[in-house]
Amino acid sequence: MFRRKKSAKQTPLDLFREKLATRIGETEDPKDLKELAEAVTLMEKLDELGSKHRISPDTLAIIGGNLVGILLILQYERCHVVASKAIGFVMRGRV
């Protein structure tokens, strides 16, 4: 009934982010701060490249269920004459 959230594994990028944050807090030299700022911008670019948009399993299950339902209805209509349409049973997508 109640599920524990899986603890997310830290990626090397997350570890680098933590080390970078501690170095920023410890340093006072302007040259070092400039280098650290460049490292932060590079890290943000890597984050953008690494983030992939994936389709959630829930969405795939809804799509699969809709397709199976449509196929079952169409198969039944092929064998037995019914004056209905399968499109009316399809769940509406969320925006």
Give the global pTM. Answer: 0.39
Cα 14 from Cα 21, distance rounded (Å):
11
Question: What pLDDT, in 10s, does the model give residues 42-88?
Answer: 877 877 776 666 778 898 999 999 999 989 888 887 887 655 566 66
3-state helix, strand, coil in the chain (%, to 5): 65, 0, 35
